[in-house]
Amino acid sequence: MSPISFYIALSLALGIAMVIDFPYASGCRGDERSYLLDFKGGLNDSCARLSSWQGYNCCEWQGIVCDYGTNHVIQLDLKNPYHEGDEHGYQINCELRGKIHPALFNLQYVEHLDLSWNDFEGIAIPSQLGRLRRLTFLNLAYARFEGEVPLELGNLSALQHLDLSDYYLYFSEDSDNPNWRLKSSRFDQWIRSLRNLEYLAMKKVNLEKESHNWGASLSSLPNLNQIYLSHCGLSGNIPSLLNLTHLSHLHLRGNSFPFPVPAWFQNVSSFVCLDLCGCGLSGSIPSEFLQNSLSLTNLRLATNSLGGVTPTSIANFSKLKTLVVFGNYLEGDMPPFGSPLGPPSSFLRIDLSGNNLKGGIPDCLGRLSSLQYLFLYDNQLNGYIPASLGQLSVLRQLELDNNQLSGGILNSFAELTALEVLSLSSNNLTGCISISMFQNLTKLRILLLSRNRMTINISSSRVPQFSHLQHLGLSSCNIGESFQAFLSSQYSLETLDLSDNIIRGDVPTWLRDLPSLYMLNLSNNQLEGLLPPLNYSNFKVVDLHNNSFHGPISALSFDGLQLDLSHNKFNGSIPDKIIALLYLSLSANNLSGGVPHSMCRVENDLKILDLSDNRLKDVIPADLGRCSSLKIFNLAQNDLYGEMPEQMGNLNQLETLNLNGNNLHGIIPSSIANCTNIQVFDIGNNRFKGTIPFWIGKMRDLQILSLTNNKLEGSIPAQLFELQNLQILDLSHNNISGAIPKSLEMLHAMINQSQSFETRSLKGSLGLWTGADTYIYDGVLFVDQITLWIKGTPRPYPKIWSSFKVMDLSHNKLSGSIPQAMGLLQGLVALNISNNNISGSIPESMGQMVNLQSLDLSINMLSGKIPQELVSLTFLSVLNLSENMLSGLIPQGNQFSTFEASSFLGNPKLRGPPLENRKQSSGFGERGSQVKPNRTVVANADKMDRWWAVSVGLCFGVGFATVIAVLCFHVEWSYICFSWLDGLVVYLCER
């Protein structure tokens, strides 16, 4: 063959080879391209993220990386770039959805696979992933996989980075236990095979069954340096991980480790980031650990039970940038952050809020030149705000609210030009400041100055405009009418709180010109007139309570979250157009008519409905049973009649049911037994009949039970005395008979002597999140109240304290004796068993009821002596043992020496002070049985009584005449006597 022929043949052969192997020559292997297209075919790509997946060269497709030597696909990165939290968060609906085609697992040379932040619609993590044995990087986080983590992941022995985290953790309606979408019941069996693993993230993956093994399992991986196991259901002690000599990141937040900080922490010098928030840790922060953790840059110990003094060494870290220890029990002074004696600091964030820190804010804080976030709210800090804080030129958020700080707001704050959030509410700040002092803070988004003792001067002549101001809180700032010109120009304003000021007149109509405003609080002012024609449908929260608005609200249309028009003078009926999704209060007005049937036209999220203290007169509509999310339901003090509808039992989320003071009748419906979460059950002052339902004893969370002033009969069910959380029990003014149950030892709340004085209220739980670690609206939305009979008179108690523990069984037909176990109820402050047929003696054990302030056992058939042990009740201020058959000497000492004779009258055989041996009544009270005396004895007694009366009358007459004669003839004595009488009259009038 000639050379020319040879070259022609060679060229043809090369050309044919190039045509045959064109995909390989173009940089992509044909079989792998086919696998990728099959994988794409199983997905729903709504945002066309895979639009580049066409043509022959798959190595140039979006998310694909090939090895340039072999042309095999080695990287598949399909992470959703628009996931929530990203700067492009407005495109969060661009997830890849659907199933994972098995062809994906034929890509045997893939080393890097990232499918995170997509939506695979609850499918299980494919076990075929175990075939991709070259994987060194696997990220399936936040992609909505469900079920068991496959054991086949243990085949990926080359894996260095594994992330299976889930963003979703929910709680079922009938349980406080969390529910996970992903779980790994055999974690120990597959994780130990990943010997090359360096990074492990399984946030919110259920590892409950691995609480005893997870530490040993991870300690067997010598290269592991970053562990993220937050909210995994782990419990017990934090196991030692000392074998992991390069451990730098340990995130265990949201697990249950109710023990002190582990001692082995002090031997780890490699920590860079430690997050143990919400783990229930106790004890103190060990200073030895802080001294050895010199590499630490991020320390998070928030929402634990750590106490003691904050170690001063915590301020000496030269590398620490983030310190978050809020929500603990730390006390003492603040550490000297920025002290000139310490090393230069690099702090970016300090959060010591929600502790018990006292003393002043250190002046040296002004030396932290890099500080951007300072949170010291909810402590007991006092003194002045240091002027040095004005030197923090990069400070973005300063929150000092809810302390005891005094003095004024410093002019140096005007220099904090980077400031976005300033919260100084609920302190003792004084003085008069002008809102214009903040005009240089052009980045300000949140300004909260409420509930201090200062005056905010808002001049109508100098009106600064904050182009970014979204949330403004100026409650209790002595603001009058001058604010209107300032506020009408704040076009970015979203929430406005001007409550508790001295604002008079009408609601300004220019509020409708603020396009972004969705929360308005003008409560506790002096506003009056009709409601202005605002477009309330744009608002989410409107609070106008405690003003003087009048007229009908029939024209009001509201479709928001919270509406409070209570404590005004509105009249007319409740309009159908009012729909509040979370909270609706129209209480304490003059509204009439009935409760609208449309209030729960369809199921909604209404949590609080308060229509109490009006003049509503109708039956309770059965349609209210559709409000399945209702927690607080208050129709007290109206004129409602009829029976309680059975549909009320559908409100299984109910915590408070208050129907007190109406005209309801009939039997208490058994469907209420479905409301197992109920804490306050008050249907007193109605006309209910029948017996007390035994199923009330199944309401394990019940704290307040009031059935007073009805027509109930029968005996007290023993199940009522098994309610461990019961604090107030009022069964008075009924026809209840039988004995008092003896099983008092189960009433744990009444036994507990806690005196914490915390109100049970729904506070802040409906507040609106501002996005700046602050609830803009955290006022008390609802406080449980109850009407109790005190000294024979019904008195409403607007707030219920956790220490206010009462048992009232009076005005019934109870018989038998007072149980000896009554003395166990040492938490009771009031006990009333009067007006019954109780017999027997007063138990000596009642002397152990050390918190008792009021004890009424009057009008019964009690006998025997008054126990000397009752003298130990040093808090007792009201005592009534009258109209019984008690005998013997009245005990003396402590409080007993202060009680008057009225506390003991009607006990013929009682003697001693304060009765002073005077003649006692022979009756036993209106309910006691009287003994019929001998007629001869009665006649002789009557004769003696007549002679006694005549003698007393003659003596009184002679004595009175003698006194008058002396006063008429002796002027000085007359002046002294009548001056004394004048003084006595004035004293009695003042009393």
pLDDT digits (tens, 9 = 90+) for 277-291: 999 999 998 888 877
Q: pLDDT confidence of 293, banded at 50, 70, 90?
A: confident
Overall average pLDDT of the 50-62 stretch: 92
pLDDT band at 206 (very low <50, low <70, confident <90, very high): very high
Q: Is the pLDDT of residue 222 over 80?
A: yes
> Do 808 and 836 meet the contact criterion of CB atoms below 8 Å apart?
no
Please compute the mean of the pLDDT values over residues 711-734 and round it to a whole number. 94
Neighbours of 632 (CB within 10 A): 23
**More confident of the two residues 931 and 828:** 828
Mean pLDDT on 129-148: 95
Q: Which residue has the tokens 């209060």?
A: 585
Q: Between these two residues, 766 and 700, which has the higher pLDDT value?
A: 700
- Comparing 177-181, 568-572, 835-839, the range with the smallest average pLDDT is 177-181
Q: Is the dihedral of CA 876, 880, 886, 889 positive or negative?
A: positive
Q: How far apart are CA 477 and CA 426, in angstroms?
A: 11
What burial letters (b/e) apply to 826-852, b meaning 16+ CB within 10 Å? ebbbbbbbbbbbbbeebbebbbbbebb
What is the 8-class DSSP label of residue 437?
G
What is the phi/psi pair of residue 813, to 5°?
-125, 35
What integer is the mean pLDDT of 257-270? Answer: 91
Give CA separation, 54 vs 63, 96, 113, in Å.
13, 17, 20
Report the pLDDT averaged over residues 747-772: 56
> Is 873 a residue whose pLDDT tops 80?
yes
Nearest 5°: CA angle at 228, between 222 and 233?
115
Q: Per mean pLDDT, which range of 316-325, 485-494, 504-513, 582-591 is the poorest?
A: 504-513
Helix axes 935-969, 971-990, angle to 10 degrees: 120
Predicted TM-score of the model (pTM): 0.77
Separation CA 797–CA 45 (nearest Å): 61
- Dig out the tokens for 819 from the structure: 């149980």
Mean pLDDT of the chain: 83
Helix (H) or strand (E) holding 419: none
Q: Please name the residue that has the structure tokens 């008390």.
A: 780
Looking at 8-12, 464-468, 775-779, which range is the least confident one?
775-779
Per-residue tokens: 425: 């509410």
**Distance separating alpha carbons of residues 506 and 551, to the nearest angstrom:** 13
pLDDT of residue 925: 40
Alpha helices in 230-336 (DSSP H): 287-292
Beta strands 43-45; 96-98: pairing state = antiparallel
**Distance between start and end Cα atoms, the chain:** 139
What's the pLDDT score for residue 654? 93
Query: Which residue from 496, 472, 479 is spatially nearest to 434, judged by alpha carbons?
Result: 479
Q: Would the pLDDT of 4 be above 60?
A: no
Residue 86 has pLDDT above 50, yes or no: no
3-state secondary structure of 764: coil
Mean pLDDT confidence for 559-582: 85
What would the two tokens of residue 58 be? 């798959």
Chain center to CA of 499: 22
Q: Please give the structure tokens belonging to residue 400.
A: 């000092």
Higher-pLDDT residue of 316 and 243 is 243
Tokens of 677: 């979460």
**Structure-block tokens of residue 354:** 């929600």
Q: Tokens representing 578? A: 């009012």
User: Contact 664/644 with Cβ under 8 angstroms?
Assistant: yes
State the average pLDDT over residues 479-495.
Answer: 81
Q: In sequence order, what are the beta bridge partners of 383?
A: 405
Of the spans 474-483, 899-908, 917-926, 943-952, which averages the highest pLDDT? 899-908
Q: How far is CA 686 from CA 360, 757, 814, in A?
A: 55, 30, 21
* Distance from C-alpha of 471 to C-alpha of 483, rounded to nearest angstrom: 15
Amino acid code (one letter) for 721: F
